[in-house]
Amino acid sequence: MADITANFLGIKSPNPFWLASAPPTDKKVNVLRAFEAGWGGVVWKTLGSQVKNVSSRYSAMDYNGTRVMGFNNIELISDRPLDLNLREIAECVKLFPDRAMVVSLMADNTREKWHELIAQVEDTGAHGLELNFGCPHGMTERGMGAAVGQDPEIARMVVGWVMEKARIPVITKLTPNVHSVVPTGRAAVEAGSNALSLINTIQSVTGIDLDTLVPNPNVAGKSVFGGYCGPAVKPIALKMLATLAQDPITSKVPVSGIGGISTWKDAVEFILLGASNVQVCTAVMKNGFRIVEDMCEGLNNWMDDKGFKTLDDFVGRSVPNLTHWEDLDINYHIVARINPDKCVHCGLCYIACEDASHQSIRIEQGKPYNNYTIKEEECVGCNLCKLVCPVENCITMVEQRKGDEYLNWKEFQRRGLPLNDH
């Protein structure tokens, strides 16, 4: 069988699945339960100056009958006493020495406070530190969290302070609340950060109660922008991860992938785009710790099927397949095909193509149902009909190249070719 053990900065764990810094990792009882269920590691909920949380704290986006497609929170860093957290971290390390114990930190923005907090955490026997440069609410008003991550020079300064003191590996967690994660990622790497992680949560408003007119979550009739996570943010996380893998500076260090990971398939996608391991939060808050069993089994089976022996065999394998639009092959062309034996005659493909695409589907009024076929000469291969079809593999896309040679937009323009031929 494939070997799914992970080695992230020398921090070894039996699998690449860590729990992200969040409510599931804020106390000993949770962490021990997670380790017993099989999680490879945890990032302990962020430690720093004492805070006071509010009630309520969470809201969510449901979609098409699926609960918690997106999850929003306005919870701050750990509100438990620092000495209690430190004691419980040490106890967890002793009880499960084979699991990764990384501690998230957000000290007050002075060199002395960072040095003091780092020394206290290292005394617990923790294996690594994660710098929280991403919290988008509450802490930003104090000049912390995303306020650091949104300014590359401030991030560079803080990472520099940390690296003066740290004796265990340091991971810098990036905020997605920026135009690009690359500038802050570069600053962190250049200042000495051993690794990066992303994404932290995205500022959001998940909705408004139409009776009270108060945005969610409601705190005595008021609300604030919260941090958005869960399956809905996965495409954004994958894009930002890929930009780090494509950059010559940020690609020099390993990345821990975060953002909407719910299944082993999600984890594989993150690893294919450059992550060396992954962190999970919302899926556990919805489904509990036991989901790691399916994640490990699924990852193992997929690796066996593909012939990959270790995780390193496919880290970043999909990155070269992401290019620039002007480098795509204009001569590559596909058209849709509808399998009449699988068609349930719902008409969704026809409606979508007729109202929102290229009017490429022919309807034949019938008794007792309508039939649909593709006008291949009109089909542009956009995939819309396939995407809306409720029956798997009823609509397939078939290649019909326009020409034998590879031809991108730059070459197309250079030759002055006529547009109507393509």
Active centre residues (catalytic): 135
Estimate the crossing angle of helix 82-95 against helix 111-122, to 10 degrees. Answer: 40
Instruction: Return d(Cα 115, Cα 111) in angstroms, integer.
Output: 6
Q: What is the DSSP string of 260-288?
A: S--SHHHHHHHHHTTEEEEEE-HHHHHH-
Pairing of strands 195-198, 41-48: unpaired
Q: Which residue has the tokens 């300014």?
A: 151
As a whole number of angstroms, the distance between CA 392 and CA 118 comes to 52
Strands 41-48 and 100-106: parallel
φ/ψ (deg, to 5) at 419: -65, -35
Q: How far is CA 151 from CA 92, 125, 146, 161, 334, in A?
A: 35, 31, 9, 16, 44
Helix, strand or coil, per DSSP, at residue 27: coil
Q: Rounded to an integer, what distance in angstroms lies between the CA atom of residue 111 and that of residue 221? A: 39
CA triple 372-375-377, angle to 5 deg: 170
Residue among 343, 10, 372, 356 nearest 171 (CA) = 10
In contact, 156 and 187? CB cutoff 8 Å = yes
**In 166-290, which residue ranges form alpha helices assigned H by DSSP?**
182-190, 234-246, 264-272, 282-287
* Composition of the chain by helix, strand, coil, percent to 5: 35, 20, 40
Q: Give how far the C-alpha of residue 46 lies from the chain's centroid of Cα atoms, to the nearest Å.
A: 19
- Quote the CA–CA distance of 226 and 275 in Å, as a whole number: 26
Residue with tokens 């967690």: 173
Token pair of 28 as six digits: 């000993």
Residue type, 318: S
Residue count of the chain = 422
